[in-house]
Structure 1
Amino acid sequence: MNALRKTLRWPGSGHDTRRLALWDAEALAAAMGGEASGAFQVSGVEIDSRDVRAGDLFVALTGETTDGHKFIDKAFANGAVAAVVDRPIAQPHVLVKDTSIALELLAKAARGRVKARIVGVTGSVGKTGVKEAIFAALERASRGAAHRSVRSYNNHVGVPLSLARMPARSRYGVFEMGMNHAGEIAGLTAQVRPDVAVITTIAPAHIENLGSEEAIADAKAEIFAGLQPGGTAVIPADSPHFERLRDAALARGAKVLGFGRSEHAEVRLLDAVPAANGGSLVTAALGERRLCYSVAEPGEHWIANSLCVMAAVYAAGGDLGAAGLALAEMGGLKGRGARHRVKAPGGHALFIDESYNANPASMRATLAQLGATPATRRIAVLGAMKELGDFGPAFHAQLREPLEEAQVDYAILVGPDMAPLARELGKPVPPSLGNAIPFAHCEGPGEAIAALEEFGLAGGDAVLVKGSNSVGLGRVVAHFTAREG
């Protein structure tokens, strides 16, 4: 039998007999407790009229500052097949009492109709990248029958939207869950109802609202409340909060898989060496097994992330070989590690785009990554780390040490929150400790662009751009990568 015949005769399953359409009018009305205006089928679900594509269902959400019903005509102009509304319209629709509640009910119906293994991911650092890597592994193993939340759709709107988009044929689902306050993940995990609950790490992100790392660990541990019977908790074995997380998982009747370097980790790092492409070659133990694979993403933090991915894929019943291939092929995400070659005098400069998020742990990790990157000069463009509250000044000032360890040649500090670090860098340095790091302190992204232009890029430079999304450092990346080539 030739290869084509073997492919065509690939074993099927009950999933393959399910409907190809994402939803039809009858199913939508039943799920949301609404009334359909007629018969129709949709291939997607969207809440932003600007993002609507042909075949989508547009859900007209009503919020404190805007009303999605104002954008119904635009949604249909962009290709919407129907809309979910709380008032009658002329176009095809499902009429409900409350569109926000309707979206949550649709999410519940989507979760209830699949026979998929569901993975929920949270953590202070790395959850989006880990979620994408787990999805890539499970999608490869399932011949495209995996689903995940896109972008950072991890809040009270993004999670139900991501669930509502899950096809009935899905064999795996991977959902990210975020939080700013205690109690928020509890509500999200009740919707996702994961078979595998992943916590990437615990770090002082959102400490302004929660007050301590212990409280952050407790808030993240809320993900275990939604675990399905017999579910598995995947937690960081090297964390000082490991026992706290483990006990919270065991209290929910979960199996526990720890990952990391510690002797008690079920997925344990044995060795990691640099790879030619800037990533790592990793050897890990999983019980009596030895896992050997490549990680394309550079940095020590991605070695730890890879162990987390392997543990999650194993717990979900996925293919570890596919996971290894996925990790070897992963590229950086926009705002979360994407790398760009930018034309500069004498060759090309490297831009590392980490402009979407920042907290003390991720700042140290990415600065260490910058320090390990071969470069003629290293430049750091750093914006504020938000939601640190009274802890903020101290955490920003403490960035001096990782900047020095990374041997940064020039630093551009953006925003008033960076004043404590500017003061630290402005202090005299004893001759025995080398030279002070030259820096500029800018008010916003526009000034940062001007400062970097004035400093002057050159071939061989490596530039790290990192800060919380609200600082707007994506503008800096966009400005310079327009020269990409």
Structure 2
Amino acid sequence: MTLWTAAEAAEATDGRASTDWQVTGVSIDTRTLHPGDLFVALKAARDGHDFVAQALEKGAGAALVSRIPEGVSEDAPLLIVDDVQTGLEALGQSARARTAARVVGVTGSVGKTSTKEMLASILETQGKTHASVASYNNHWGVPLTLARMPRDTEFAVIEIGMNHPGEIAPLARQAQPHVGLVTTVAAVHLEAFDSVAGIAHEKAAIFDGLTKGGAAIVNADIEHADILRSCAQALGAKIVDFGRTAQDYALTEVEQGTDSLQAQGKVGENNISFNVQSAGTHFAMNALAALAACVELGVDLDQAVAGLRRWSPVKGRGVREVITLPGGDQIELFDDSYNANPTSMEAALDVLAASQGNRKIAFLGDMKELGAQEHAMHAAMADVAAMAQVDQVHCIGPLMQALHQALPEGKRGLWTETSAEMVGQLPELIRNGDAVLAKGSLSMALAQIVDGLRKMGQGGALEP
């Protein structure tokens, strides 16, 4: 199905189409480009113009550029604009304007992507649904997601993130959500903010983009819920809260199973029960927020609860698997290696503590962007309640030295500078019946620990 014609894209961006072309998708990466995509030559680590020729050779339907790149003929299918980033944003806003989709925007210090995936799983049962892929939630990810949205979309889920003040509001205005959801506010990105209250104000900026009469979904349990409420109220939004202390969507009980959890709650005066296909109370809270958002989009609550059963965590975000070692021994692995901050680290340790492993072993990597208190925040993980149930903690990275030193000697495992160094030690650290957690910021490459454990299950050699 055609996503953009040359004429439509030129009108949307105020650009010039070199030929009469049409495209079926939008891509910013030649490695994942599909034939028929519009290749967007963004400037990031490399100038995307350097890859236009390659994109066209791989079958791109056209390229969005600010100049004709070297090695590309003047009659190649191009859309020439003054600035590629601005052009992508204009394309996204045009896509948003031409659709009648009901849109939900999701932000929060923790749980954005999982909640976005829950929403997509539910909404896909109700109509044609378009959602952000991976964690495409920044200054290029949001307009890219919008530019990819087909005109006949019925529901859209747009993830919106930030690293610095002032980033969320312009992205929210591009998305124009009918519902804005803030999962939680926590001590994340403190390098760029003076306080958690400052982060709360930035997260509340998602409500700046709400359509008239839109709804703000607010976590009632967090310290700065009042900031979210006051910002939403000032914009005239309908406020719907969720959480253990909420009036609208209250979580009353969570029964943890091996691979899933059963949660009980109240919506107003009515009792609800819902199942989440993952371990971890934090997923129950995310699910409750997703249910609230779906109802505000017009979905029947019972149908939303049924749709939630389709969701399961994605790679690196809490996936549980059982690995069979040579000789038939087994370990239980919790792969939460994609990202980390103090709040999500504590939640992951809660899951490990509740597991059935003979020993509970954690491999923890540095948590980045925590600002001046980063060493103290790492050391403080030794005192979280779940740590009492953890048998041994292996630490990776310079910041995790603070935790390593703060741990009681009996829990203190190895410390290494990198995950690659730790991988070579795995056979000596793991034994039959262990439950193992791997978690750290993405740059710490805890995925190498996960892959190393999987290789042990395949009988493969581990490389340091």
| Length-normalised TM-score, structure 2 | 0.94
Partner amino acid for 2:395? L
For residue 416 of structure 1, the aligned residue among 394, 398, 406 is 398
DSSP 3-state at the match of 1:381: strand
**Is 1:324 the counterpart of 2:305 in the alignment?**
yes
Partner of 2:447: 474
Q: What displacement does 1:483 show?
A: 5.1
**Is 1:128 the counterpart of 2:113 in the alignment?**
yes
Asked whether the equivalents of residues 340 and 484 of structure 1 are also in contact (C-alpha less than 8 Å), the reply is no
Q: What displacement does 1:61 show?
A: 1.4
Partner of 1:76: 56
Partner of 1:52: 33
Aligned pairs (5 A) from 1:263-278: 264-275=246-257, 277-278=258-259
The alignment's C-alpha RMSD in Å is: 1.7
For residue 338 of structure 1, the aligned residue among 296, 304, 319 is 319
Q: What displacement does 1:406 show?
A: 5.0
Asked whether the equivalents of residues 104 and 178 of structure 2 are also in contact (C-alpha less than 8 Å), the reply is yes
Relative distance call for 1:482 and 1:376 in structure 2 (3 A) is same
Identical pairs, percent: 42
Partner of 1:17: none
- Give the Cα separation in 2 of the matches to 1:278 and 1:85: 47
Residue range with higher mean Cα deviation, 338-347 or 352-361: 338-347
- Give the Cα separation in 2 of the matches to 1:74 and 1:365: 44
- Give the Cα separation in 1 of the matches to 2:431 and 2:452: 16
Asked whether the equivalents of residues 355 and 472 of structure 1 are also in contact (C-alpha less than 8 Å), the reply is yes
- Give the Cα separation in 2 of the matches to 1:153 and 1:483: 33
**Is 1:379 the counterpart of 2:361 in the alignment?**
yes
- Give the Cα separation in 2 of the matches to 1:284 and 1:92: 55
For residue 420 of structure 2, the aligned residue among 423, 428, 446 is 446
Partner of 1:463: 436
For residue 168 of structure 1, the aligned residue among 148, 151, 155 is 151
Asked whether the equivalents of residues 340 and 481 of structure 1 are also in contact (C-alpha less than 8 Å), the reply is no
Partner of 1:390: 372
Partner of 2:381: 399
Partner of 1:3: none
Relative distance call for 1:290 and 1:175 in structure 2 (3 A) is same
Q: What displacement does 1:316 show?
A: 1.1
Asked whether the equivalents of residues 356 and 474 of structure 1 are also in contact (C-alpha less than 8 Å), the reply is yes
Partner amino acid for 2:236? G
- Give the Cα separation in 2 of the matches to 1:190 and 1:461: 48
- Give the Cα separation in 2 of the matches to 1:288 and 1:39: 58
Q: What displacement does 1:403 show?
A: 7.4
Relative distance call for 1:267 and 1:35 in structure 2 (3 A) is same
Q: What displacement does 1:292 show?
A: 1.8
- Give the Cα separation in 2 of the matches to 1:410 and 1:268: 35
Q: What displacement does 1:484 show?
A: 5.4
- Give the Cα separation in 1 of the matches to 2:266 and 2:425: 47
**Is 1:103 the counterpart of 2:76 in the alignment?**
no
For residue 43 of structure 1, the aligned residue among 24, 30, 34 is 24
CA offsets per residue over residues 56-103 of structure 1, 9 Å max, x none? 11011134x421111112212322111112223422111222111110
Asked whether the equivalents of residues 138 and 322 of structure 1 are also in contact (C-alpha less than 8 Å), the reply is no
- Give the Cα separation in 1 of the matches to 2:439 and 2:272: 32
- Give the Cα separation in 2 of the matches to 1:232 and 1:191: 17
Asked whether the equivalents of residues 368 and 406 of structure 1 are also in contact (C-alpha less than 8 Å), the reply is no
Structure 1, gaps ≥5 residues long: 1-19, 429-435
Aligned pairs (5 A) from 1:192-341: 192-262=175-245, 264-275=246-257, 277-341=258-322
**Is 1:23 the counterpart of 2:8 in the alignment?**
no
Asked whether the equivalents of residues 141 and 319 of structure 1 are also in contact (C-alpha less than 8 Å), the reply is no
- Give the Cα separation in 1 of the matches to 2:321 and 2:398: 28
Asked whether the equivalents of residues 138 and 319 of structure 1 are also in contact (C-alpha less than 8 Å), the reply is no
**Is 1:119 the counterpart of 2:99 in the alignment?**
no
For residue 333 of structure 2, the aligned residue among 351, 373, 379 is 351
Partner of 2:125: 140
Relative distance call for 1:213 and 1:116 in structure 2 (3 A) is same
Asked whether the equivalents of residues 343 and 459 of structure 1 are also in contact (C-alpha less than 8 Å), the reply is no
Asked whether the equivalents of residues 368 and 402 of structure 1 are also in contact (C-alpha less than 8 Å), the reply is no
Q: What displacement does 1:306 show?
A: 1.3
